[in-house]
Amino acid sequence: MAEAPEKNLALDIVRITEAAALASARWLGRGDKEAGDGAAVDAMRISFATLHIDGMVVIGEGEKDHAPMLYNGEKVGMGDGPSLDVAVDPVEGTNLLAYGRPNAISVVGVAPKGNMFNPGPSFYMQKLVVSREARDVIDLDAPVKDNLVNVAKAMGKSVQDLVVFVLDKPRHQRLIEEIRTAGARIQLQTDGDVAGSLMAVDPRSEVDLMMGTGGTPEGVLAACAIKGMGGQILARLDPQSYVEKEAINEAGIDLREVLTVNDLVRSDDCFFAATGISGGDFLRGVRYSARHAVTHSLVLRGKTGTLRYVESYHNMDRLSKISAVRY
């Protein structure tokens, strides 16, 4: 049955990621990741307070006692709108921002209350992310070469044409060797778990898939975008310490279960926005001119699959006079 157009919350939450990007971009390359992250958190919290939503942060930065941060369980919004699960990463890639490296972004995802996977005590998960073309041909337990061959075939490429995003971490040494042996190309990044997932499903990106172990909260956050773009993420909790493993077992979570995009975000009625902070091929960073600051964002609505790239020109003189956010 045909439906009338509904409010697109993605066009509201992009204002939040823009504000966080503008506030934190002043700290680009200054070596102080706490200050950059704190500026983004403050900007997000102030901006959320203007939205007619009844939101609760389920994917945040930690516990309240470790403020400043948007902590798990924090209420956001004016409380008079739809009840939502909220996932945030005010600065995804705090080290990237602090040291002036590419692809630091500000990210927000929302979904109806009770529809986001709760990572509990899990910090890390194994991930395999692909675009729509390859979403039905991957297997988290298959050899790396088999997945690369199947993805390449689904995309109409050779394995040698593929670009695989991998975090440059010691835990990925064997994975990197297997990808190289298979003949695929690799884009290594020191940080940027969400950005890597987005690149794998963004039709403009040169990255074809993402492989490796990264953050569990980041996996849930990225799933909002992966769902909207019609891609797939296969994931399994992958504790990196005995303490983390024991905590997951005590919580009754199955470490063997393979999670899909529909497990991480169960509703199609999800929304996602990301704004670039530091420059990169994926999203350009905040750029300043004599009168304006320019931001570049990706905006998604899961239900329709509509993807927007938004370039915004912010008049900094006017903003600084009326906004509570410190730009």
**Is the Cβ–Cβ distance between 134 and 152 less than 8 Å?**
no
**Alpha-carbon distances, residue 294 vs 170, 275, 285, 316 (angstroms):** 36, 11, 8, 10
Q: Is 250 labelled as part of a ligand binding site?
A: no
The DSSP symbol for 317 reads H
Taking the alpha carbons at both ends of the chain, their separation in whole angstroms is: 46
Q: Is 245 labelled as part of a ligand binding site?
A: no
Q: Is 306 labelled as part of a ligand binding site?
A: no
Q: Is 281 labelled as part of a ligand binding site?
A: no
Q: Is 192 labelled as part of a ligand binding site?
A: yes
Close Cβ partners of 249 (under 8 Å, ≥ 6 residues apart)? 255
What is the phi/psi pair of residue 32, to 5°? Answer: -125, 90
Q: Is 42 labelled as part of a ligand binding site?
A: no
Q: Is 124 labelled as part of a ligand binding site?
A: yes
Q: Is 114 labelled as part of a ligand binding site?
A: no
Q: Is 37 labelled as part of a ligand binding site?
A: yes
Q: Is 127 labelled as part of a ligand binding site?
A: no
Q: Is 171 labelled as part of a ligand binding site?
A: yes
Q: Is 327 labelled as part of a ligand binding site?
A: no
In angstroms, rounded to a whole number, what is the distance separating the alpha carbons of residues 254 and 257? Answer: 6
Q: Is 63 labelled as part of a ligand binding site?
A: no
The DSSP symbol for 86 reads E
Q: Is 61 labelled as part of a ligand binding site?
A: yes
Q: Is 193 labelled as part of a ligand binding site?
A: yes
Return the ∠ at Cα 206 (arms to 205 and 210), rounded to 5°: 85
Annotated binding-site ranges: 37, 61, 89, 92-94, 124, 169-171, 191-193, 215, 218
Instruction: Please give the annotated binding residues for Mn(2+), written as ranges.
Output: 37, 61, 89, 92, 218
Binding annotation for substrate: 92-94, 124, 169-171, 191-193, 215
